[in-house]
Structure 1
Amino acid sequence: MSTISRRTFMLAATAMGAIALAGSIAYAELPALAKKDTYKVGFAQTESNNPWRIAQTNSMKSEAEKLGYQLVYTDAAGSAAKQVADVNSMIAQGVDVIFLAPREEKPLIPAVMAAKKAGIPVILLDRNVDQSLAKAGEDYVTFIGSDFIAEGKRVAEWLAKNANGKSKIIELEGTTGSSPANDRKKGFDEAIAAAGGFEILASQTGDFARDKGRQVAEALLQAHPDADIIYAHNDEMAIGAIAAIEAAGKVPGKDILVLSIDGGKEAVQAVIDGTIAVVVECNPRFGPKGFEIMQKYAAGEKIEPKVINDDKLYDSSNAAAELATAY
């Protein structure tokens, strides 16, 4: 049985308290966004420790500059507690709207609710919050991002057709409690179970980080020397897993298939090189779509609760041709 840390417990308790408060005040409608020539926009980023996050941040900054908007940018450095504080700081600075990439589903609920109480609309980017605690169209405007369940499912479906007799899987999960980790696991696990003939030997978080992914892969490969597939929830962990496979004296792509999600240039190059078998893209270029949705909301247009990005799939059939367009 896992031990719940005091920090996790306190964040969850704070989230539940925020919901109780919101329920008692009974905010029924989203805050409005006035139609203006320029805006002061908050963007609360979760971290900047990998190419995907950097590409997302650059896209947001570039689009804000193009539109002539003031962007208040923060980096939570991988801390849900700091990200809540970042949003509170934006509220104090009087931003017009907040783009939030929530690090975890439950701990960021207080931030969403605080912005709503302050009359500032929130648009979620790339990660969602717990739908039992906050809802699109009521507590925040919308979620813009990929269909994480579909991403995991696409990886599993590709594997079912291309496994060539390999069947024993190690799964490297993303950040515990985050929507992409939850959903990429759900999509893959359910689809691989439906396909039949596969076994997930072990599943453990690598926190979406390259070095931690390497460390976890090394430990799991030692514990399960018969593993011949590694499914990583993102490119960083997949690249870490390649190093772990090589350290174990095995050949990535031959002895062990590596499967990934994100689609960064380094990972697509690894597909060309044969060390990664398949990568399902998770598009990080949120600037154009994010600000388009914001402007439509200000204009009074109806916004769907989810706006899903289109994602590519890279394997040996197209990686070389698509490398130039990868982020």
Structure 2
Amino acid sequence: MFKVLCKWVICLSLPFWAVAQATSVVFLNPGNSTETFWVSYSRFMQAAARDLGMDLQILYGERNPQNSLDQARELFQRAQKPDYLILVNEQYVAPQILRMSQGSGVKLFIVNSPLTEDQRALIRQSRSSYSDWIGSMMSNDEEAGYRMLKELLRQHGPLPAGQTIDLLAFSGVKVTPAAQLREQGLHRALAENPQVRLRQLVYGEWNRQRAHEQAQQLLQRYPQTQLIWSANDEMALGAMQAARELGRKPGRDLLFSGLNSSPEALQALIDGELSVLMAGHFTSGGWALVALHDDALGLDARRLGGPDWHLSLFQSLTRDQARQLMRLGDQVGARVDFRGLSAQGKPDSYRYPFSLQLLLH
């Protein structure tokens, strides 16, 4: 009896977090385990999980949607299931995973690539069947696509009346909602600037080598091209390599835009070869963990702007900001007080201040 009593005294003397089981989360990362963007995305999430005291497991899909589906199926069959599953609607896998999850008790949260309108319409018809789908967190992809072209045109300078300018565009995987939204932003900017002639839009599938091969052909087919819009940094870097091989000078007679913040892209911006670099959405997984941490505490997402957050995470980096991110490197998440961002103990008026600026202060 004395031993039992001592055990209880010891437990009661420890802080709550030391004896309570940590909130467990699995993230189905759709990218390759060697892919710069998705690795940096995971590292930021790991920094958040450490600070928040959450148990995070990351499973890479290696750019194969079937892998993500198989991983989800195995997860829902586990004896010890996680509290939360974070997934990306890459190549439209989300509805299948939502269907698999029914009755599992695992709460689902979607990041980065939203459900399409058709998918949402189908799910709305039977939303009660998906009661474990608790929310989503998306970045401003359409706005990012729009601003990339607008910024390219600003840097190019005004065109004389009646003069046109040729543009090439490299989008990602055609069946990825994020790529589609960035394309929509591009087309919105084109509609506002009829002097820009989109000579061709191709799908580089986020891949540097594929974009390099496509750019080799396109730049010879359309030699008057002055602007190149890319839906990510890898494709921009591949197209830049092709331009150099053809005797063009990135940042001078050919202006490039890209998106993401790989070290090579940051350096290209600093060096003036990349004219526009939008970045910030690699943070969304970490911010999602803050929201799930608060959900586990029983806080109401609706008073915090949720459960479906649309965040303005993308911003056009300056060279100074690129240098800051370069200096931070893999430790970029170490500068963020994730626990301090929690809504616990905050007034009802509190809203999450999620922004790239939290890393650059």
TM-score above 0.5: yes
* 1:218/1:244 contact within 8 Å kept: yes
Unaligned residue ranges in structure 1 (runs of 5+):
1-35
Match of 2:65 among 69, 80, 84: 80
Which aligned pairs between 1:192-207 and structure 2 lie closer than 5 A?
A: 192-207=190-205
- 1:317 Cα deviation (Å)? 7.8
1:159 aligns with 2:152: yes
1:45 aligns with 2:29: yes
Amino acid at match of 1:279: L
1:69 aligns with 2:67: no
Alpha-carbon distance in 1 for matches of 2:102, 2:118: 17
Determine the structure 2 residue equivalent to 1:14. Answer: none
Amino acid at match of 2:313: D
* 1:97/1:120 contact within 8 Å kept: yes
* 1:144/1:309 contact within 8 Å kept: no
Cα gap change, 1:39 to 1:130, in 2 (>3 Å): same
Determine the structure 2 residue equivalent to 1:99. Answer: 86
Determine the structure 2 residue equivalent to 1:127. Answer: 113
How many residues in Structure 1 have an aligned counterpart in Structure 2?
291
Cα gap change, 1:314 to 1:72, in 2 (>3 Å): closer
Cα gap change, 1:288 to 1:79, in 2 (>3 Å): closer
Alpha-carbon distance in 2 for matches of 1:287, 1:320: 23
Determine the structure 1 residue equivalent to 2:267. Answer: 269
Alpha-carbon distance in 1 for matches of 2:189, 2:310: 23
Determine the structure 2 residue equivalent to 1:221. Answer: 219
Determine the structure 1 residue equivalent to 2:95. Answer: 109
| TM-score (norm. length: structure 1) | 0.81
* 2:52/2:293 contact within 8 Å kept: no
- 1:37 Cα deviation (Å)? 4.3
- 1:322 Cα deviation (Å)? 6.2
Cα gap change, 1:311 to 1:107, in 2 (>3 Å): closer
Which aligned pairs between 1:288-299 and structure 2 lie closer than 5 A?
A: 288-298=286-296, 299=298
Amino acid at match of 2:273: T
Cα gap change, 1:102 to 1:133, in 2 (>3 Å): closer
* 1:160/1:195 contact within 8 Å kept: no
Q: Relative to structure 2, which stretch is displaced further, 38-47 or 302-311? A: 302-311
SS in 2 for 1:169: strand
Determine the structure 1 residue equivalent to 2:176. Answer: 178
Task: Please say which structure displays the higher CA radius of gyration.
Answer: 2
Say which structure is richer in helix.
2
CA RMSD of aligned residues (A): 2.4
| TM-score (norm. length: structure 2) | 0.74
Amino acid at match of 1:85: D
Alpha-carbon distance in 2 for matches of 1:40, 1:67: 11
Which aligned pairs between 1:1-16 and structure 2 lie closer than 5 A?
A: none
